[in-house]
Amino acid sequence: MFNYLTDIRLRPFGLPQISELLERALRTSSISFNTADRAFVAGLAGGHPYLLQLAGAALFDVIASNTALSDRHAEATRLFQEWSSPFFGEMWREMTTDARVAFIVLVLSTIGGKFTDGVLICRRNCLSGLAQS
């Protein structure tokens, strides 16, 4: 007897697939996500299937705990960061130096910053954007 796994690579989900994923996940629950919640999950996870699951689960748990409406995205972000830390840590450890540099450049371009001569230059508070992302 033996076990084997098939590796299936998923591409990032677009908004229609994200909506469908969330609808299916919440179908048997009394909890629902409004339009702002769906946009929050999509923005936090960036369409990555595993991260969508984490972001959705974090928001679900926060809503289930009856956290105030005004605080729920902040609390879900905190949970998401806590839960995703091992994923990103492992990803970082497995990256080559060139991949790490490319990753940093992509993140900086997303948050409005850049490196010039080894110095981080930020436009419009890019470090606070990173802390909120």
How high does pLDDT run on average in the chain? 84
Q: Where are the domains of the chain?
A: 12-84, 95-133
Closest CA to 127 of 107, 106, 111: 111
pLDDT tens for 89-112 read 999 999 999 999 888 888 777 766
**pTM across the whole model:** 0.73
Q: Residue 114's pLDDT is what?
A: 58
**Distance between terminal CA atoms of the chain?**
46
Buried/exposed 10-22: b ≥16 CB within 10 Å, e otherwise:
eeebeeebbbebb
Q: Among all chains, which residue has been given the structure tokens 């910053």?
A: 113
Q: What is the dihedral of CA 114, 42, 40, 55, to 10 degrees?
A: -100
pLDDT tens for 44-83 read 998 999 999 999 999 999 999 987 777 899 999 999 999 9
Distance in angstroms (rounded) separating the CA atoms of residues 57 and 55: 5
